[in-house]
Structure 1
């Protein structure tokens, strides 16, 4: 989150999750029958859908599934992104996971699989899972086996206020990093806060360094650096320097270092209420802006992360990910049935129409009507490279080191060189 609307960063929000958490800890990961009682199987579903409209839509879908399967009850546990990750870390240590749980795939899922805690879904889902979009399935494939089923796919990009851009004399969204810095300068000159940022949560800051690394070193370089345990190359240091160039312009809202993402005074609300011109966020951004603030409606636009002049990467290389569900090992058949229900065309159409997620069922793409969602979909369809969120692609300890160090760079306490060295050290220690 890197986190994420019901995708890697999910439709995040301050929630009553803390109160649910410890109760949920004692109730999840039960016997292999999913908690059967009196002929009824109860399956526990942990997700990060804590803001509307997704929260209500998902609850209604659970009721719909129960109506179609009278002998099954779905117990929903909804946790804000960071709280969710914290609780899951505790559960992994205990050796028990919920029947159905949110996953972003990548290195975090691999760690859970290697610990023997996740169900191999290859055979149990093959009749229907093979029909889902290939790019959406990839984060959940490990050694050719299926360990998760996607419900969303998307990318990170800039969401901007068209009126504020016009006021600052920025006629078109920038396509180069130099042009982007110039636009930031023009916005500041007009007394407009250029960018909203949730510095408290760190993962939104990571997006900048990750994208700049992709643009300077190329889309494949981030995974290669992790595999080689070496982020000290010139391109990665350059990425940090490009980010420092932005930070030196002081583009963020007042108090950004203590700002959360989805609170009433956080990053999303700052943009949604017209108090900042941009945020770098995933395809779920409009929904969270509207939930945390007023939302911009037709005044909201989208553009991909700019290219870096002289860099090895292209503007068509995408950084992002999706949301999926995995099952604990030996999960009951009812949990598999729920995954099939959630990945059906009928459900996907409802999710696309009501929650603005991007479809994973090909036939559901026709439901996209929002022009910004179409723009994101077009970028994904034309992508020439794809990199999963770093704090999900990498092992948890390495991903956290990336987030912590990028945050330190933005706060001014670490240099680009120190960031590269610290991430390299974490990658070496992880092996």
Structure 2
């Protein structure tokens, strides 16, 4: 009888179903190898604690991500979780019905970790929460101290627009490329137009134009932004072949010490090293951050910043397991690892306290002290208007379009979207 009972038990064991595993696909754009390794290790820790969940981390390069995401989200192969810069692009995704509301699934602890700003940033106009904030970022004017010394340019002399243009000319005269730019990708060029708008129009002017009030983006301040941009472009400050250069190309050029400045997000601290020929980039002691030049009569507050509040969104078919994974990934303990290694400035409560990198600390202070932290304009204004902003910015960088035409095209795009 014992043998029969044992056989029966073994038979039942043989036909008992193996515990089902839920697969969570988290689509990311992280390209720095060490940062990817950190993400993989966090996923491994999570899966060890949750053997019923498998986390997959597919990658798309930045430009491919932007190009393919809309189609992916409408397909059967949509990721459960994916990177986002927030803003109007996120709003349109929510309106299109490709996202899952998670306000009733995300824990109170996870919401508290990102604070009111982190929750509101990923709450759509329909009142639903569709994602979780991860980090804050700022677009800054990185500069190479060694090249400044070689050209005899005092960084303090570039605090005004006239002084900045004079400094650019001094670099030209010294045979040094003043500014690296990846105009092929267009969005790096839009940082110049956007920073000028932040200075000239300020928060109230930008928000009024985005609503279509008055002359909108065809108004005086926005035309002026284009005119100032053209003043810079007329000096031919960019590297040779800038129109065919990607962001990575420009980042590497700056990291190799072949351009004096690069207007780029704080992520370029690591990216310029990874994109440089020797993978070391500019040593910290030779690297600096310049304040963007002030413009006399501008309506912007001197403390205003431009950057992002990035995070992740959940696609409409995302499981509760996907939310569980993001809560783990976004925990202060895990986000502190990113802060410690200066990959980005995490928003999770207390995570940034371990930052020692002087550049990231400075940027964090800039953002926390800002009167207005403007979201990247190509994201804030939605994909259609943002695309036009990027297009005209690349044209302005090439000195191939008038300021009036650029402003009118953006206004028309806004009018079409209202």
Scaled by the length of structure 1, what TM-score is found? 0.87
2:281 paired residue number: 295
- Greater share of helix: 2
Alignment of 1:406-425 (within 5 A): 406-425=393-412
Counterparts of residues 31-430 of structure 1 (less than 5 Å): 38-94=19-75, 97-128=78-109, 129-143=111-125, 144-173=127-156, 174-228=158-212, 230-262=216-248, 266-293=249-276, 294-298=280-284, 299-430=286-417
Task: Identify if the C-alpha distance between structure 1 residues 83 and 314 changes in structure 2 by more than 3 Å, giving closer, same or farther.
Answer: same
User: How much does 1:123 deviate?
Assistant: 2.4
**Corresponding pairs, count:** 393
How far has the Cα of 1:180 moved from its partner?
1.5
* 1:131 Cα deviation from its structure 2 partner: 2.9
Cα offset, 1:350, TM superposition:
0.7
Paired position in structure 1 for 2:7 = none
Which stretch shifts more, 204-213 or 320-329? 320-329
For 1:220 and 1:75, the matched residues in 2 are separated by: 43
Distance in 1 between residues matched to 2:205 and 2:302, nearest whole Å = 15
The CA deviation string for residues 263-305 of structure 1, in whole angstroms up to 9 with x for no partner, is: xxx1111110000011011110110001010311221111232
Query: Could you tell me how far apart the structure 2 residues matched to 1:354 and 1:64 are?
Result: 19
1:4 is aligned to none
1:323-360 deviation digits (Å, cap 9, x = unpaired): 21111124211101111111111111111112421021
Deviation, 1:137, is: 4.3
Q: Could you tell me whether the CA contact under 8 Å between 2:73 and 2:315 is conserved in 1? A: no
1:95–1:117: 8 Å Cα contact kept in structure 2?
Answer: no
Within 2, Cα distance between the matches of 1:133 and 1:165? 41
* Root-mean-square deviation (Å): 1.8
| Aligned partners of 2:113 and 2:332 also within 8 Å | no
- Structure 1 Cα separation of the partners of residues 196 and 18 of structure 2: 53
Tell me the CA shift for residue 141 of structure 1.
2.2
**C-alpha distance in 2 between matches for 1:341 and 1:297:** 34
Is the contact between residue 305 and residue 370 of structure 2 (CA under 8 Å) also seen in structure 1? yes
Bigger shift: 183-192 or 245-254?
183-192
Gaps of 5+ in 2: 1-16
Q: CA deviation at 1:429?
A: 1.5
Q: Quick one: distance in 2 between partners of 1:145 and 1:121? A: 8
Contact map agreement 2:342 2:357 (CA 8 A) in 1:
no
Q: CA deviation at 1:93?
A: 4.7
Task: Give the distance between the partners of 2:221 and 2:70, measured in 1 at CA.
Answer: 33
SS in structure 1 of the partner of residue 341 of structure 2: helix
The C-alpha deviation readout for 1:84-110, integer Å capped at 9, x for no partner, is 111112124548731111111111111
Conservation of the 8 A alpha-carbon contact between 1:306 and 1:315: no
Which segment drifts farther, 305-314 or 281-290? 305-314
Unaligned runs of 5+ in 1: 1-35
Larger Rg: 2
The two structures have a TM-score, normalised by structure 2, of 0.90
Q: For 1:289, what is the secondary structure of its paired residue?
A: helix
* DSSP-derived class of the 1:151 partner: strand
Q: Secondary structure at the match of 1:197?
A: coil
Residues 169-225 of structure 1 show CA distances to partners (whole Å, capped at 9, x for unaligned) of: 223343222221122122222111110000110000000001101111112322321
User: Residues of 2 paired with 1:110 and 1:357: CA distance?
Assistant: 24
